[in-house]
Amino acid sequence: MGIYQRQLQPRLLNAVMGTKAVREVRGRVCAGLAGEVIEIGYGSGRNQPHLPPEVTAVWAVDPSETGLKLSAQRRADSSIPVTVGGDDAQSLPFPDDRFDAALSTWTMCGIPDAAAALGEVARVLKPGGTFHFVEHGLSPDEKVARWQRRGNGLNKRIAGCLLDRDIAALLESSGLAVTVMENYYEKGSPKPVGYMYEGRATA
């Protein structure tokens, strides 16, 4: 991993993922979380201010040391304690049925084996535990999907993620049961990067 991926990319993502529109989505996705929560792709802690008071603790999983450093002030400002819980969502260091809830926001696009990560989320959630998510991914419009495939290489280099992950298919095969999912193009974003999957699932 080069200096761009280690140092600059986390700072870029911290900046672009803090817009008003993104904050509104974070608020919706975090609503209803409670108990002990594992967050996949904690990054710079952008979700921390949106966590409801019913959350008692967060375990942060993220491979970026720089991202976690950028989260320091948000963690300090929050009354909810955060424990760094590993750097690989594809192999979580926790026993089965450990957490009340799980959270992932714009993360599955960048995990090499997203299916393995979702399988791990299903494993560590207590029976009936909830998974709150928003991800960008494969558009049902073939014209948009073609642009997504064309743009994957460049987007991978700049943002570290793929544009055409089939989030619905990944969730279906994960062992999680989707209870709510809304799909939409994010306002103000080009369609190839802005097709969203937002919802909840249960273990």
The pLDDT value recorded for residue 59 is 98
Q: Which two tokens stand for residue 21?
A: 């529109």
Tell me what pLDDT residue 166 has: 98
pLDDT tens figures, 23-48: 999 999 999 999 999 999 999 999 99
Q: Read off the pLDDT of each residue in 114-142 and give the average, rounded to a whole number.
A: 98
Q: What residues form DSSP beta bridges with 177?
A: 202
C-beta neighbour count of 66 within 10 angstroms: 18
The model's pTM is 0.94
pLDDT single digits (tens) 62-88 = 999 999 999 999 999 999 999 999 999
Q: What is the pLDDT of residue 12?
A: 76
Model pLDDT for residues 161-171, shown as the tens digit of each residue: 999 999 999 99
In angstroms, the CA 157 to CA 39 distance is: 24
What domains appear along the chain, each with residue ranges and CATH number? Answer: 3-202 (3.40.50.150)
Nearest residue to 75 via CA among 59, 93, 91: 59
Instruction: Give the model's pLDDT for residue 70.
Output: 94
Mean per-residue pLDDT, 1-13 = 77
**SS3 for 139?**
coil
Instruction: Report which secondary-structure segment, H or E, holds 128.
Output: strand 125-136
- Compute CA 13 distance to the chain's CA centroid, rounded to the nearest angstrom: 13
Mean pLDDT of 119-146: 98
Sign of CA dihedral 202, 23, 114, 116: negative
> How crowded is the C-beta side of 96, counted as CA atoms within 13 Å?
4
Reported in sequence order, the residue ranges of 44-98 that DSSP labels E, i.e. its strands, are 55-61, 82-84
pLDDT of residue 1: 62
